[in-house]
Amino acid sequence: MGKRCLKFTFPPELVTEPVIYGLGQDFRVVTNIRRADITEDRGWVVLEMEGEEENIEKGLDWVMAKGVTVEPVEEG
């Protein structure tokens, strides 16, 4: 099992899409929103992801292919 803390930045067209829900459902990853700022036309989320490393990687590939920017967050 792996665990990561990442910042997702959403483009305007994805702000209303259930991307985090899809990540959990389709890739069997547990998500925990640590911080977020969402408006009608932009949004970012600091997200903890926990699951099998392969599932996390596949989920991140899917999220980035949708147009979400993913950056690592230093935990501490």
The CATH number given to whatever domain includes residue 31 is 3.30.70.260
Domain that residue 18 falls in: 2-72
Predicted pLDDT at 76: 53
Query: What is each CA distance from 74 to 5, 6, 7, 67, 71, in whole angstroms?
Result: 7, 8, 10, 22, 10
16-42 as b/e, with b when 16 or more CB fall inside 10 Å? eeebbeebeeebebebeeeeeeeeeee
pLDDT tens per residue across span 16-61: 899 999 999 999 999 999 999 999 888 999 999 999 999 999 999 9
43, two tokens: 């949004």
Total number of domains in the chain: 1
Q: Which residue has the higher pLDDT, 12 or 75?
A: 12
Please state whether 67 falls in left (phi above 0), alpha (psi between -120 and 50) or beta. Answer: left
What is the pTM assigned to this prediction? 0.90
Determine contact, residues 23/61, Cβ cutoff 8 Å. no
